[in-house]
Amino acid sequence: MGLQCQLGGTAMQTLKLAAIPSSPARFIFKPSSSCSISFLSCLNPSRAHRPPPPFAFLTRALSSSALQTAPAAKDGVDTKGVTRSQWKAAIDFKWIRDNKDAVAVNIKNRNSVANLEAVLELYDKMLAVQKEVERLRGERNSVANKMKGKLEPLERQKLIEEGKNLKEGLVTLEEDLLRLTDELQAEAQCIPNMTHPDVPIGAEDSSIVRKMVGSPREFSFPIKDHLQLGKDLDLFDFDAAAEVSGSKFYYLKNEGVLLEMALVNWTLAEVMKKGFIPLTTPEIVRSSTVEKCGFQPRGDNTQVYSIEGSDQCLIGTAEIPVGGIHMDSILAESQLPLKYVAFSHCFRTEAGAAGAATRGLYRVHQFSKVEMFIICRPEESDSYHEELIKIEEDLFSALGLHFKTLDMSSEDLGAPAYRKFDIEAWMPGFGRYGEISSASNCTDYQSRRLGIRYRPSEQAATNMKKSKGNLGPTKFVHTLNATACAVPRMIVCLLENYQQEDGSVTIPAQLRPYMGGLELVARKSY
């Protein structure tokens, strides 16, 4: 239950906490909260020289013209009290029906909760009602045309009654059609993206190591974890933060602050060299924007902090506000690719997380992160996915970390991801590898809900003398995201891997210019 506080006569809205899903692949969406999973294309023309993979035909994108519905009322309810979705994804229901076997296999492989049978049933019902609506509209128009001529009073009265009955029946059917299209939209948005043919099928342990960099450091002395190092070197304070904010919050202190700033600034500088545009983003966004990016802001299973009494949420990643920056726009092909590197604070509920592997800075409610985001043409997304993972690997290699890159399995993919690569670094204090980044190709999953399209230059040139209405069709862009630096986990890696026998920690050479030349973090004399 939310608490309303009054400060100087101004009400402060409070955050409402909810639980997270046990696995990224298990998003549960309810029709009442307008779930946010739609179907994607996954075409890769750059691999045209290779034999087509099984289900290669499934890469076809969904047509935005496949569903024609009236615009939703602003508050989600029309003037007749019919509940309506506030936004609609461009889903080709006919395509889903025509390819139902392959769609069903993909849902099973991803361990998705999507209900394909419900989608197909609702689609058939919607078509039937739509056909009846069109029939009644035709009859009503016919009656209206008959009344334009000279008629006997009795005949005119008969037509008036017939028209009235048709109108009443049409109103009822149109309301039914709105309800059906909204139910269909809610169910179909739960269908996950198709999956890259090279993705290993199965649970997380089916993920494949595609690259291993370096080897674990061998210590000649008893090692400490980052919690002990941070306490000894006075770098952070969890106890005070727990009193102020609750568990899984922290204060950074002394060189810990400098280390965070150095990581952020060094990462931004390195990624900007690759042609990325730097951004800072809003950290409160509309719930609908969160949904369109593939996250569930409301409900029982969410990582999102929602602001009670509003339609706003705190972001869990800069991917959300960066994805929304070109929402409902048509880009020129010459603008693509758009490459952004964004710094933001991130907020995640992390409810249910427990165990030694989540202690300290590894899993917290608030943290700083540098995120990369690319908007590109569909045929280029696979190559940009490779570019993103190479940038990540180069960054972590430059810091001297030992890590492995994983091609994640189908059940570990979030619903938007066509393919995802994770990087896990060795953390000596935990005695295990821990995830420090991921890079996902979401194809047109997000752009079809965010409404981000582009107009191919050839079409624009061919139709330049024609009216705007006669221009060639636009296409949906592809979006990709990747973590450049999740600050707390990078601090875990650096403290634990660079600790010395005397309890000090060496600063990697790349970060020293961003820390005033500091080379070592040692115990304080006070």
How many degrees, rounded to 5, is the angle at CA 258 between CA 252 and CA 260? Answer: 65
- Residue 180 — pLDDT band, cuts 50, 70, 90? very high
What residues are designated binding site? 317, 348-350, 364-367, 371, 435-438, 481
With a cut of 80, say whether residue 14 has pLDDT above it.
no
Q: How far apart are CA 25 and CA 106, in angstroms?
A: 12
Give the span between the Cα atoms of 274 and 276, in whole angstroms: 6
Report the alpha-carbon distance of residue 498 to residue 425 in Å, rounded.
13
Q: Contact, 454 vs 525, CB < 8 A?
A: no
pLDDT at 136: 82
Range from 218-232, 281-295, 340-354 carrying the lowest mean pLDDT = 340-354
CA distance 448 to 63: 9
Residue 219 has pLDDT above 80, yes or no: yes
Interval 357-377 mean pLDDT: 93
Pairing of strands 329-332, 452-455: parallel
329 beta partners: 452
Predicted local distance difference test score (pLDDT) of residue 353: 55
Q: What is the pLDDT of residue 42?
A: 34
Q: Could you tell me if 342 and 300 are in contact, meaning their C-beta atoms sit under 8 angstroms apart?
A: no
Distance CA 213, CA 49 (A): 30
Residues in the annotated binding site for ATP: 348-350, 364-367, 435-438
| Residue-level pLDDT at 295 | 83
Whether 250 and 238 have beta carbons less than 8 Å apart is answered as yes
Question: What are the pLDDT digits (tens) for 493-518?
Answer: 999 999 999 999 999 999 999 999 99
277-280 vs 338-347, strand pairing mode = parallel
- Specify whether the CB–CB gap between 418 and 193 falls below 8 A: yes
Helices (H), 85-237: 93-98, 100-109, 116-146, 153-188, 226-232
Six-digit token string for 78:
């029309």
Helix/strand/coil for 82: coil
Q: In the prediction, which pLDDT does 155 show?
A: 77
Amino acid 322: pLDDT: 98
Q: Which of 208-217, 354-363, 480-489 has the lowest mean pLDDT?
A: 354-363
Average pLDDT over residues 107-114: 94
| Band of residue 211 on the pLDDT scale cut at 50, 70, 90 | very high
CB 420 within 8 A of CB 439: yes
pLDDT 10s digits, 394-423: 999 999 999 999 999 999 999 999 999 999
Return the minimum-mean-pLDDT range out of 118-122, 192-196, 285-289, 293-297. Answer: 293-297
Are residues 99 and 92 in contact, defined by beta-carbon separation less than 8 angstroms? no
For residue 421, the number of C-alpha atoms closer than 13 Å in the C-beta half-sphere is 26
Residue list for the binding site for L-serine? 317, 348, 371, 481
CB 308 within 8 A of CB 13: yes
Asked if 489 and 434 touch (Cβ cutoff 8 Å), the reply is yes
Residue 127 structure tokens: 């078509």
pLDDT tens track for 138-165? 887 776 777 777 777 777 778 778 778 7
Is pLDDT above 80 for 472? no
- pLDDT per residue over 261-278, tens digit each? 999 999 999 999 999 999
CA–CA gap between residue 197 and residue 518 (Å, rounded)? 48
* Beta-bridge partners for 427: 432
Measured CA to CA, the distance from residue 63 to residue 65 in angstroms comes to: 5
Cis bond leading into 53, ω under 30°?
A: no
CA distance 249 to 247: 6
**For residue 334, what is the DSSP state?**
G
Count of positions (residues) in the chain: 526
The mean pLDDT of the chain is 82
Structure tokens, 324:
């929304």
Q: Using one digit for the tens of pLDDT, what is the confidence trace for 53-88?
A: 333 333 333 333 333 333 333 444 443 343 334 688
The encoded tokens of residue 430 equal 């935990």
Q: Would you give the DSSP letter of residue 204?
A: G
CA distances from 489 to 266, 301, 428 (A): 16, 24, 13
Q: Which range has the worst mean pLDDT, 24-38, 350-364, 439-453?
A: 24-38
- The pair phi, psi for residue 376, each rounded to 5°, is -145, 175
What pLDDT sits at residue 458?
66
Catalytic residue ranges: 348, 363, 435, 438, 489
Residue 230 — very low, low, confident or very high, per pLDDT cuts 50/70/90?
very high
Say if residue 128's pLDDT is above 60. yes
The per-residue pLDDT for 86 is 67
